[in-house]
Amino acid sequence: MLKKSGIIEDTDSLEPAMAAVAAAMADTSRIKMLSALMDGRAWTATELSVVADVASSTASAHLTRLVNEKLINCLAQGRHRYYRLAGRDIAELIETMMGVSWKKKSLPETRAPLKMHYARTCYDHLAGEIAVKIYDSILAAGWIEPDGASMTSAGRAQFQKAGILLDPKTRRKTCCACLDWSERRFHLGGHAGAAFFTHCEQKGWLTRTPGFREVTLTHSGSLAFRRLFNV
């Protein structure tokens, strides 16, 4: 049974709903689109058709399917339509699927760019080898609890000292241990992860690669990360 709020009340309704979501993702072209949207930005249907290597009409059908299953949202701005992931929970689902799928691939077979392995976006926070090293560093320093589910008072103080702003009124988890699909270890997610990534961009420590999830660590970023996290 489904409430007006959209919350499923019984397993008889839950299981078909789960199957519908899985079916919506069970297509290589749609997975390519969802993966592209993991950069946290809104994309046009044309851009996503290029990413998925399909015709515009085919891309439109795929996008409609993803919208209907509430995996993505369609944003209208003037005559243009943009698509983005429906929320952070969808991004976390995709990242987890990447981690599970990655275990089935041997390292020499992957064609993922090395730069993407080193640093990339995971929706609105930093992922990749450098992000895992930062997570290990702040965990060892006692900035976050052992399970990564919350920040310690010391961590909040260090964030404040570094000028990383945390919104005390946010309903989002302060932080979480987000499984990194390429490293198979954790990086910092949640509100703290997003705030840290925003801070790094504003400081010029990281630069995005337009149209891709890849992130480049600048010279000033390398110095800052070495100073703050010894990485």
Residue-wise pLDDT tens digits, 33-59: 998 888 877 889 999 999 899 999 999
Angstrom distance (rounded) from CA 189 to CA 199: 14
Q: Residues 224, 142: one domain?
A: yes
Q: Residues 117, 208: one domain?
A: yes
Q: How confident is the model at residue 131 (pLDDT cuts 50, 70, 90)?
A: very high
* pLDDT given at position 3: 53
| pLDDT of residue 6 exceeding 70 | no
Range(s) of the domain holding residue 24: 11-86
Angstrom distance (rounded) from CA 94 to CA 87: 11
- Structural domain contains residue 3: no
Angstrom distance (rounded) from CA 205 to CA 182: 22
Cβ neighbors of 38 (< 8 A, separation 6 or more) are 85, 91, 94, 95, 121, 122, 123, 213
- Structural domain contains residue 53: yes
- Give the amino acid at 120: R
**Encoded tokens for 8:** 């499923």
Q: Which of 86, 112, 143 is the last residue of a domain?
A: 86
Q: Residues 203, 99: one domain?
A: yes
Q: Which of 36, 65, 86 is the last residue of a domain?
A: 86
> Would you say 204 and 215 are in contact if contact means Cβ atoms under 8 Å apart?
no
- Structural domain contains residue 224: yes
| pLDDT of residue 1 exceeding 70 | no
**Encoded tokens for 24:** 């919506």
Dihedral, CA of residue 56, residue 60, residue 61 and residue 67, to nearest 10: 160
- CA angle at residue 93 from 146 to 133, to 5 degrees? 40
Q: Which helix (H) or strand (E) holds 224?
A: helix 219-229
Closest to 179 measured CA to CA, from 93, 82, 66: 93
Counted domains in the chain: 2
* pLDDT given at position 10: 61
Contacts 24+ apart (CB under 8 A), 144-149: 144/175, 144/188, 144/192, 147/177, 148/175, 148/176, 148/177, 148/186, 148/188, 149/173, 149/175, 149/176, 149/177
Q: Residues 44, 102: one domain?
A: no
Comparison of pLDDT for 230 and 107, the residue scoring more: 230
Angstrom distance (rounded) from CA 63 to CA 30: 8
Q: Has this prediction a pTM greater than 0.85? A: no
* pLDDT given at position 7: 56
CA atoms within a 13 Å half-sphere pointing along the CA-CB vector of 144: 24
pLDDT, averaged across the chain: 86
* pLDDT given at position 129: 93
Comparison of pLDDT for 216 and 99, the residue scoring more: 216
Q: Residues 116, 102: one domain?
A: yes
- Give the amino acid at 124: D
